Structure 1
Amino acid sequence: MKKDHIALTVIYQGIPKETLRVVSEKETSKEAWECIKMMYQGAKRVNDARVQTLREELDGLWMKSTESVDNFAMKVNSIVSMIRGLGDKMEDSYGVRKILKATLNKFLQIVASIEQFGDLETMTVEEVFGRLRAYKERLRGNDDDININAEHVLLTKSQWRAKEQKDGGEGSSNNGGQGNKNQKFDNAKVRCYKCKDYGHYQWECEELKK
């Protein structure tokens, strides 16, 4: 009886106040211990269910087309932190593989490089997001160059077409488009690019003015 009282005292000292209110009604250390086991087994089931729900949420997470790398990283890190906070030992390799699978197609080149040359077992989630950010910055620079070049090409083609129409359009094929300066050009042979009618150029078209 004395040892049982000592054991019961030790149990009381090692449990939270909320649990103590329930356990204090038990008369022996065995009853108190069985009660605690039942309470924490139920809590463990709830904990395991929560971990499973978070893992499913992580598996169903995909990067949106308008989403930044930093925003996606925040979502992944938040879920991983909650899972680990519940006592689940989630390996970094699990999160790394999920990230590589859930990123957008524009990151396909860097993802393939990481999968081929990187060690996914030792790589961290932060390292993967760091590489994605660096690749995104390079893409942004390339996109700017492409836009500038495309705008330049488009402008050049517009100027070339206007010059071609000014020099005689579809009706000025004589002498390789050079024409005779002393020869009066017949506008009836000119076809408008806008309304497809003959007799005027595109910049003279009433439809274009409207």
Structure 2
Amino acid sequence: MLEENNYGAWAVKMKIFMGAQGVWAAVESKNAVDDRLDQMALAAIVQAVPESVMMATSEHKTAKKVWAAIKEMHVGEERVVKARVQMLRRELDGMYMSESGKFSEFALKVSDVVNEIRTLGTKVEESTVVEKLLRSVPEKFQPIVTTIEQWGDVETMSVAEVIGRLRAFEESGKGWCHHKEEEEKGKLLMVRDEPRLTRAEWEAIVAEEKRSGHNSGSGGNKSGEKKYHCRFDKSKIDCRRCGEYGHFTDECDGVKKMTKGVAQLAVVDDEPTLL
């Protein structure tokens, strides 16, 4: 049913429906058509519009004139049409899929805008829509985009084929992403389960492990493993002096260089001055 804001989609559906019924020729033909064919086309149109539109177009007696009147009511004059097309083109150019969005929803929005432009009488090539889809998806689609551009003919490829390939790629990536999320979650739980030790506690445990290994001759504790000797990760330690990770403050090269410089300065000061 024709509504206030769905003329573009309505016109496309009506064209398909009337074509299937064999009566679309009554609307698009420039020559005279059979009266029975014209009346069947007119009946199809009247059944798909509200009463207000039917009454507004009742003075027209042929399907072609009724169709033209409905189009004029919803499309407007030529200048209005051109302005609407320009606005829709700018909208299309500014459409990009977000990182968290679904490709099927984005493709539907693009198709709606393209169909409305076509309904207004402006031609939009399939290759233009294909290129728009390929250059408007996030970086995660780059592998399939590159494959399509290298091994497919973008100029002859249909919009439906591109949408199908991009959707298939998106679906295949969901399982991989879920696996990576579970893996990262497991790593995070392992880190949380590990004890939080100060440096003194860590050094004391490592020293005890060394003594136990030296005394037992087994090189480890009772379980045969060194529990903390290799587990402590200094890569997560940030130096309080230089701000970099991987060492304690007293291990900082800046401190060592400063100490060495002070020592050298003291030696120079102790040397006798030559007159």
Query: Structure 1-normalised TM-score?
Result: 0.57
Distance 1:174 1:16 in 2: 97
Instruction: Assess if the C-alpha contact under 8 Å between 1:172 and 1:179 holds in 2.
Output: no
Percent identity over the alignment? 38
Distance 1:54 1:172 in 2: 70
Residues 55-204 of structure 1: matches in 2 within 5 Å? 55-159=89-193, 161-162=194-195, 169-174=202-207, 176-177=209-210, 179=212
Q: Which residue of 2 aligns with 1:50?
A: 84
Q: Tell me which amino acid in the other structure corresponds to 1:153.
A: K
Distance 2:117 2:206 in 1: 75
Q: Which residue of 2 aligns with 1:192?
A: none
Distance 1:171 1:61, change over 3 A: same
Distance 1:101 1:144 in 2: 26
- Kindly state the Cα deviation for residue 178 of structure 1 after the two structures are TM-superposed: 6.8
Question: Going by fraction, where is helix more abundant, 1 or 2?
Answer: 1
Q: Tell me which amino acid in the other structure corresponds to 2:115.
A: S
Count of aligned pairs between the two proteins: 145
Distance 2:210 2:168 in 1: 52
Instruction: Assess if the C-alpha contact under 8 Å between 1:110 and 1:132 holds in 2.
Output: yes
Q: Which residue of 2 aligns with 1:37?
A: none
Q: Tell me which amino acid in the other structure corresponds to 1:111.
A: V
- Kindly state the Cα deviation for residue 84 of structure 1 after the two structures are TM-superposed: 1.1
Query: Structure 2-normalised TM-score?
Result: 0.45
**How far does the alpha carbon of each residue in 1:93-130 deviate from its partner, in whole angstroms, 9 at most, with x for none?**
00111111111111122112212212111112222221
Distance 1:173 1:16, change over 3 A: closer
| Unmatched 5+ stretches in structure 1 | 1-11, 21-41, 183-210
Distance 2:211 2:140 in 1: 48
Q: Secondary structure at the match of 1:82?
A: helix
Distance 1:179 1:135, change over 3 A: same
Q: Tell me which amino acid in the other structure corresponds to 1:50.
A: R
Q: Secondary structure at the match of 2:99?
A: coil
Distance 2:97 2:103 in 1: 8
Distance 1:178 1:149 in 2: 37
Distance 1:65 1:105 in 2: 8
